[in-house]
Amino acid sequence: MIRPLALLATLTLLTSQTKAWWDGGHKMIALIAYEHLTPEERSWVMQRLNVHPTRSELFDLPMQEESGNNVSEETKAQWFFAQNSIWCDLIRSRDGFPNAATINRTYHHSGWHYTDIAVFPSEAARAALPGFDVVPPMDWQPGMAEPENGFNSVQTVKRVVHELSDPSESLADQAVALSWLFHLSGDFHQPCHCAALHIPGSMPDGDRGGNRIMIFGLKHQNVGLQSDALHLFWDSIWNGEKNGLSAIQQRLKTLEEDQALFSAAESSASNINPEDWLREGHALAVSHVYSPTLLEYLAKETPLPSPSGSKYKEPLLIVKMQTEAFQKYVTDSKLASRRQIALAGLRLAATIKSVIAASK
């Protein structure tokens, strides 16, 4: 059992913002989609990204910084696809690039990134917390007013798919819709964006998608990870020392050598229903994020105060797993993430094909 408050000193603080799959994973998904689109379909995407309202600040300037001025049209398209996948995370910031505060105020919506379905450690826990055992809203219809607490990721995907299929929408507005489609296709396949663990007594109001659970030692498992937070571990699985276009392309080349992986993903790639994506992500959270072994460890712990400066002020649950169990958890998580990355990329391509067909 992890008891001493002194242990908190050994745990890096939670970051102020969380990002699904971070840059590496989102860009991988976008480039998988790129490779599964026809030249005409890629042109359809680029016709919109070329008039993106933030093209100068968040596409042209960073591309120039990374790749210089002499970029071929193909490289530019690949770079824009990859950059588009992380746009929704970039606009979380209010500084760091030109017009950041205005762009954040205009386009950022934190609630659009996730839809949490509750996970309970037992049926007794479910019965003890009936207020959280509810199905989140998933309906969206054209003209529907956004509720005070905002749309969730399911509703947002339905909305942007409609906008991308509607020829009356401006290309600039469709560009923003594409940014959300690219990004949320990744978020849905990171299971921490589909679930929240609720434990009677220690964490009845939920763990914020794994942000309030820390496994001692996780921060040493992925490149660039500086926290033991469960959510951030899953986010960081596909990051590397470098996450520019050439580095991501090399990583993708290695992944695509696993032909069995992509063959298996293709069997489910045609399912572009975000409600099904959510249910699949929730099931993966039950089996892998909140694995039975992890739940056994969590049952032994009592909450500890959140460190000063962390995003979430609620108490944390911190566990130290035995070496064999810990390594199995990490290995199983990374294997599951391989399937999710391949599936997300293929589904993003399938969704783009669908909206192009519907817009004709």
Tell me, letter by letter, the H, E, C secondary structure of 313-346: CCCEEEECCCHHHHHHHHHHHHHHHHHHHHHHHH
Residue 12: predicted pLDDT: 42
CA angle 32, 270, 360 (to 5 degrees): 90
Dist. CA 174–CA 302, nearest whole Å: 47
Q: pLDDT value at position 312? A: 66
pLDDT of residue 360: 84
pTM of the shown model: 0.94
Q: Name the residue among 256, 241, 237, 335 with its Cα closest to residue 35.
A: 256
Q: According to the model, what pLDDT value does residue 6 have?
A: 39
Cβ neighbours of residue 250 under 8 Å, at least 6 residues apart? Answer: none
Residues in the chain where the model's pLDDT stays below 50: 2-18
What pLDDT is recorded for position 9?
A: 40
pLDDT of 59: 98
Which residues are CB-neighbours of 322 under 8 A, at least 6 positions away? none
pLDDT of residue 19: 53
Token duo for residue 162: 């409609």
List, for residues 121-175, the tens digit of each pLDDT value: 999 999 999 999 999 999 999 999 999 999 999 999 999 999 999 999 999 999 9
Q: How far does Cα 5 stand from its chain's mean position? A: 31
Is residue 36 classed as helix, strand or coil in its secondary structure?
coil
* CA atoms of 206 and 120, how far apart (whole Å): 9
Which CATH topology does 5-359 take? Answer: P1 Nuclease (1.10.575)
